[in-house]
């Protein structure tokens, strides 16, 4: 079972994402409300994948990602970003940063686990 650390500052999004990924996708989901919280828990939780919002107060998603890269244990964990900013240059910047995928917000909760699995599978088949 894939263990996912989901990072989003909005409680409703965390709840919907957790429900969708656990009940439909059968993933094990741990939630964090901020980049700082994710940094504190990532090595303890040891997720297989991080699904993270881009726009968050304090440490945004890209800043949190860069902080993960400085931690040898966290640097190996693939990241999928979730964002409402889906212009090609914005998605390209996130991919250049090192993300394995980008999911557009708002997302369809019924399709979310399929999209996460598709991105995960395409990463592991490279």
- Domain positions in the chain: 3-124
pLDDT of residue 120 exceeding 60, the answer is: yes
Architecture of domain 3-124: 3-Layer(aba) Sandwich (3.40)
pLDDT for the residue numbered 124: 59
pTM: 0.95
Measured CA distances, 96 to 11, 55, 76, 102 (Å): 29, 17, 16, 11
Would you say 10 and 31 are in contact if contact means Cβ atoms under 8 Å apart?
no
For residue range 38-48, list pLDDT tens digits in order.
999 998 999 99
């Amino acid at each position: 079972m894939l263990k996912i650390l989901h990072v989003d500052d909005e409680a409703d999004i965390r709840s919907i994402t957790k429900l969708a990924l656990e009940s439909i996708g059968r993933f094990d989901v741990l939630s964090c409300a901020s980049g700082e919280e994710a940094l504190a828990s990532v090595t303890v939780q040891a997720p297989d994948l991080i699904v993270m919002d881009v726009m968050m107060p304090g440490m945004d998603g890209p800043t949190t990602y860069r902080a993960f890269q400085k931690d040898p244990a966290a640097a190996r964990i693939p990241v999928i970003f979730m964002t409402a900013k889906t212009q090609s240059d914005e998605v390209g910047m996130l991919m250049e940063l090192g993300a394995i995928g980008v999911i557009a917000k708002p997302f369809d909760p019924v399709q979310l686990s399929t999209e996460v699995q598709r991105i995960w599978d395409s990463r592991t088949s490279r």
